[in-house]
Structure 1
């Protein structure tokens, strides 16, 4: 692609011909309106094109000794730097198969010898104008792409801010800390990255999905905003009825996010791109992180692979963090005891594959817990 032409500068034209008289005729005809570069053969033409700035148009003689115009054009089109330069062949040949050969190698037009000055000027003006139009269109496309990219960044920033606000609201009501958000989402990230290297999970844990899991994890307990304070903040053991109410936070979280998905569905396509997958994962996590591998969890009693993978990951992350954290009803467990409880739950509470990943990542879990400690 040629360099942008500075405002007010004449369009640049490279004229290639092995006959000096032909070069002079073209120079006399074009020099008033165009900046001219001349070359007497194919190798010299290629040498002229090795530096900047590139011309806006090439007038290329076909019949030249050594490297003919067809070969020159072929080489130009094989080079990403010059492939978009428009080439007009100048030739005394007029047979259809000759013209066809030229178009096949990438020429945009033909001018036949002996040349007609009005025809040459008209063809040159037309193709320089087309070149300018293509360049303007490319600039406009780049501008639009930049605007879309900036809009996307704005939406992602707004999304992240909304997630943090919603998650913080739920945790503030539950007397937990923002560090719980950071720990659990980093546990989920570590587990996801580890499992993504397993062929059984690679197609479900691509880079985009892992990023969405990381962003969605903080919303796992968003449904707690719907639990009465008398139950949510009770320092003693909950009664059976109170625990039944507490368990509804999973369904409340699901319903809130499902409603948000409905709102996103009403947006224009360009504004909801990516949102549906993010909200779907957030909904899966909120709804399913208290399900158990053996089917004894809540709210749906799902078992095994019927539990979304996102929820199975969160189940291990959430329980581990609850075990090592201080609660009003218990002191924090040391890592060794918490890890033993996670391993004991393999195949009953937790997906065995996720527990195996946890076991391989125990040092990383410990590091995340220290990095985002409530006491830090």
Structure 2
């Protein structure tokens, strides 16, 4: 385990020892004032509407802006990082158009489940040793983990807005323990991005209005995970075969050359999730979807939203063999699935064959799906 700065205090030594035993790779200490620029940046992000449909970000903005707004008694924040570096090139699957690309972080167990229990173990030891109060957070509460991690020296926020570490590149899960215990804070890490623009230039949807700024509405991770409705037309072709998340900006970071494969077994990729065949994913009913993604964060978006993503990938694949599966899904009970199936079929079928499907259109009652038919037929007419 790597400690950013070693300190002689017994409590600090206990925290580092327990963090190492729990499988964390790095631990630092932040003061509640470690991210003074974060509130202003958050306010600008929300004012520009860049959070899209994530209304919870606006609803919790006051508590998110400062740790003491979330918990007035906090005196120190223990920041912990767990390496989830892949043992393979996560971008290689993008060339395999008949396969689905799932973000590295979702290729095994849900990291919330992996990390939260371990944070509680460490927090319990801190409370027992000091009598201090503790609270643990793993990306499920209004805590700005990345600015706090940067302010504590764990890494720095790169131009893609994600945390970058000199030792682990862009592949760190973050967790935090808020405590009333007084701990000496570590120094912030410097920004080491320099003139590099690799993460900005590779983005398929141009989701970065400027370095260090993200417009979530254009981000494939947001579109495939958080966005609940039909994928906007302008982004569908750019999604390629990305069916859950997008690793492009993370994977291209030059600092990844110092990263290493995750040692935690639950964070290593399951073979069947590295590049699953679209043909198999298109056959998933709700029960099969839940079974296949048991324990995975993919399960949280539900079968319908997931199949929406898979159908977009099918439409981009050029694989005519996927037409029968897409045709069946054009009559799926879920409008979200039907609409995406219509789009996929319009990309995979010849105009005369697609025209023969218009019997389905006359029975369609959902407004969004009717819009898909109108757009698909118009696109076909212009080919």
TM range (shorter): under 0.3
TM-score normalised by the chain length of structure 1: 0.26
Greater C-alpha Rg = 1
More helix by share: 1
Quick one: higher RCO (CA 8 Å, sep 6+), 1 or 2? 2
